[in-house]
Chains A and B, each alone.
Chain A
C-alpha cells in the first residue's frame, strides 16, 4: 500500500464508488452498474489526469465531505454544488490541489442530483468482476460510504492542463424528453397505452434510484393479463409493473424481469436521467426504428 487514501468526514445521503461498471455478466444475474452520468464521470477523471474509466465518488442530492490523507488533486463534476476546501470556496468542474489533511466538501446539488468527485490516481478499492462500482441491487462492490470510512487511492499520473472552454456541460433539462423505441412487448398493451405513453406528461417519482427512474402519470393499460415468464432486461428498458406507471431501467437494473417492456430508451439518450430531480416533467417521444444498418 502506498498509504495514499481519503477518509470520509460526511458520507451524505447516498455516496457510492462508481466506474464504468461490470458489463458482460448479465447471464450470471449480475447488473452492469457504473456511473449513472457517464459524461460527468469521464470529465471528472480527465480533470485530474486519470484514465476515463477510473473509480470516483457519486453523490446523491446532498454531497459529501472527505479528508485527504496525502496531497492529491481532486475535481467535482455532474450536479453543480458549492465546493469548499477547508471551508474556502474552490472550483467546481476544475482541478483542485488538496493538501495533506485538507477537507474537501461538496454541498447540496444546486440543480441536478448526482455530483462526481474524482481524485488523481482514482479510488483503488478491490475490484469485483473487473469493476469497483457499488451495485445497489445485488450488493456487489464496496458498501455505500459511511462516516469515518477510509478509501485507498491509486498512483497518480501527471495532470495535463485542461482548458475550460473545451469542457462543455449540459445543465439538467427543466423537462426530461426520452426517445422510445417500441417493443419488445408493446403488444401486451392496448393501442391506447402506447398513445398515452407518447402523449401523456409524466413526472419523475421520488422513488427513483440507481435501479430505475420511476414515474408518476397516466397508467398504461395491459391488453394481456397473464403472467410473463421472466425474460432478459436491458439498460433503458421501460418496464410496466401492475400499477401501470412506466419504470426506466438504469445501471443497477435486474438482469431479468417478469413485467412486460413496452419500449426501450436508447442508451445514448439516458444520461440526463441521472440528473432529473423528483417532480421533473417527463415525456416519452416515440421513435420508429431506423431502417439502415451499421450504427453502433
Chain B
C-alpha cells in the first residue's frame, strides 16, 4: 500500500490489484460511516488506486494506513445486480474470434461470470466491471465509434461496461440491455455502484 500526496488534503493510495482496491475502498467507507475516518471530500476507487480528498491531516493518515487490518472482499456479502442482456452486439463475432470460441460461447462465458463494479468513470453511471479472466483481454477498437447506443454492453481490456447514455466509445460491443443505468431521480442515481456484484442474465437461453 503506497499513499501518494494529492495537494494539501488528499491521498492517492496505490495498491497491488483491483481486489485490494475493492477491499480498501470498502474499509474506507466503513470507517467513514463509523466516524473513525475524517474525509469530507470524495472517496474514488479506480483500477489500482483509491483517491481520498478532504483529509485534515493526510500525513498522519498515510502513516497509519499500513497498520490497518483490511479484511478481503467477501463476495457473498455483496448485493448482486442482475442485468438482462441480449447478446446481439456488432462486435460479437470479433470477440468470438479473439477468444477462439463461438458467438454462443461468448454469451455463455460472459453471462456465467461473477462481475464486480471496480469503479465508475468516463460518464455518470458508467461502471468498470471486473471478473473476466486475463486471457479474455480484448483491445479497444482502433477507431472509436462516434455514437454508441445507450444500453450497449461492451468489452475493453478485461473490463466489461454498459453505456448509460449514447456517447462516443471504443469498446467492443457484444450486447444490449434495456435496464436504466443512470437516473438522477433514483437513489443512488447509478444502478452499478463501486463494490456491487453484477450478473448478466441472457433474455433468451444461450
Identify whether the interface residues of A are mostly helix, strand, loop, or mixed: loop
- A185 engages B4 (CB within 8 Å): yes
A239 within 8 A of B: no
Checking A140, A230, A295 against B56 with a beta-carbon cut-off of 8 angstroms, the contacting residue is A295
Cβ of A184: which chain B residues have Cβ within 8 Å of it? Answer: 4-6, 12
Cβ of B184: which chain A residues have Cβ within 8 Å of it? Answer: 128-129, 140
- B43 engages A27 (CB within 8 Å): yes
Per the bound structure, the CA–CA distance linking A102 and B41 in Å amounts to 42
Cβ of B48: which chain A residues have Cβ within 8 Å of it? Answer: 229, 231
- A140 engages B47 (CB within 8 Å): no
Q: What distance in Å separates the Cβ of B137 from its nearest Cβ neighbour in chain A?
A: 13
A266 within 8 A of B: yes
A289 within 8 A of B: yes
Given A184-B12, A232-B49: A256 in contact with B7 (beta carbons within 8 A) = no
Cβ of B119: which chain A residues have Cβ within 8 Å of it? Answer: 27, 230, 256
Number of chain B interface residues as a range: 35 or more
A165 within 8 A of B: no
- B53 engages A28 (CB within 8 Å): no
Q: What distance in Å separates the Cβ of A73 from its nearest Cβ neighbour in chain B?
A: 31
- A255 engages B121 (CB within 8 Å): yes
A290 within 8 A of B: yes
Identify whether the interface residues of B are mostly helix, strand, loop, or mixed: loop
- A255 engages B12 (CB within 8 Å): no
- A234 engages B124 (CB within 8 Å): no
Per the bound structure, the CA–CA distance linking A237 and B119 in Å amounts to 19
Checking A28, A230, A256, A266 against B193 with a beta-carbon cut-off of 8 angstroms, the contacting residue is A28
Q: Please name the 5 residue pairs, one residue from A and one from B, whose CB atoms are nearest each other, closest first.
A: A232-B51, A293-B57, A256-B121, A232-B44, A229-B47
Residues of B within 8 A of A (CB): 4-10, 12, 41-51, 53, 56-57, 59-60, 119-126, 128, 165, 184, 188-190, 193-194
Residues of A within 8 A of B (CB): 23-30, 128-129, 138-140, 181-185, 229-234, 236-237, 254-256, 261, 264-267, 289-291, 293-296
The 28 sampled A-B contact pairs (Cβ below 8 Å) are A23-B41, A26-B44, A27-B43, A27-B119, A28-B125, A28-B188, A29-B121, A29-B122, A29-B124, A29-B125, A30-B124, A129-B189, A140-B124, A181-B7, A229-B47, A230-B121, A230-B128, A231-B12, A231-B48, A231-B51, A234-B10, A236-B7, A254-B122, A256-B122, A264-B10, A266-B8, A290-B8, A293-B57
